[in-house]
Chains A and B, each alone.
Chain A
């Protein structure tokens, strides 16, 4: 596919827009990116975009990773920087403004009351994230066991998350190496 050189300003415009209107995190933003980059601008094919999602969810912020991928495919290293920076710029600016207001005014009674009223949403948010991650994927005993094990290790033994995550990855790598032969036969 021959791609005309897409201007960096064009990339910046699109990702600034996505960064500014992408409320709700995760999947909501990915849908928005797909709408802009695949459907409207036709910068990437659907397959390429799926690739971006598959690689992007591995390490770091999924949505930021996808913007890096898209930017890179369009204009190389420069494109990747422009895309990621313009995607993050609106949220960084807004968070810093809100954080400075928060640090200044969180002692004001009415704002304190409002925050107190909203805090339970955080629990719902975290639990619904856990629910969504598990839905349809927690389908055998090993996975249920791992959930309980993680809760136990984190809450009772107070093991640090670093150790938990890294040892799980090690476990995953070992499992992958041991069962690779079996996987190849399947293919």
Chain B
């Protein structure tokens, strides 16, 4: 995929708007961003290929910091350095602005019941969206029987032993480069 030249101003505004919208529905933290970005950037707008998106997820696991840093990768793939910065800024803007307001007046809002209730309601929907995303990704991630075993091993390690995904990624790379 060629890197689009960002001197074209309308495109930067378009990119800002795309990622700002993603930030607007980024409720509940962390992994929610995966179904949102998958449906918008890959399925709907075709700004990223399925492979790029999955590989971006792997790369964001190799990186310290929040899962949401995936937007920086997406922005870079779409439009280079500027794209990365615009995407990151636009996506973080809504949530960060609200957090600033809450930081200022959190003592007055002793009752955070409302926010908690909304997050609780969203919880099952987000689980459903994550399952849907995993299902959509199956074709490009699972190509043979060995891959299915890999999924089970990784899932088991993460759930049962709380293994850091970074270690699993590194271990799989070593196994693949060395033995296959």
Contacts and interface: CB of A to CB of B under 8 A. Distances in A.
B28 A57 contact: yes
Contacts of A77: 100
B99 A56 contact: yes
A67 B94 CA distance: 15
Contacts of A113: 176-177, 180
A25 interface: yes
Size bracket, chain A contacts: 35 or more
B15 to A, nearest CB: 15
B62 interface: yes
B30 to A, nearest CB: 5
A6 interface: no
Contact of A118 (B73, B76, B153, B173): B173
Given A99-B77, A126-B133, A138 B30 contact: no
Chain B binding surface, main DSSP class = helix
B6 interface: no
Given A57-B28, A122-B58, A160-B44, A84 B172 contact: no
B136 A165 contact: no
B58 A99 contact: no
A98 interface: yes
Which 7 pairs across A and B sit closest by C-beta, in order of nearness? A60-B95, A150-B128, A91-B65, A117-B176, A124-B154, A172-B121, A62-B29
Interface of A: 19-26, 28-29, 51, 54-65, 68-69, 72-73, 77, 80, 84, 87-88, 90-92, 94-96, 98-100, 102-103, 106, 110, 113-134, 137-138, 143-144, 146-151, 154-155, 158, 160-162, 164-166, 168-169, 171-173, 175-176, 183
19 contacts: A26-B30, A51-B106, A58-B115, A60-B26, A65-B96, A88-B69, A94-B65, A95-B63, A95-B76, A98-B62, A114-B176, A119-B54, A121-B61, A121-B165, A133-B130, A154-B39, A161-B39, A166-B25, A168-B122
Given A91-B72, A125-B57, 4 more contacts: A55-B109, A62-B30, A119-B147, A175-B121
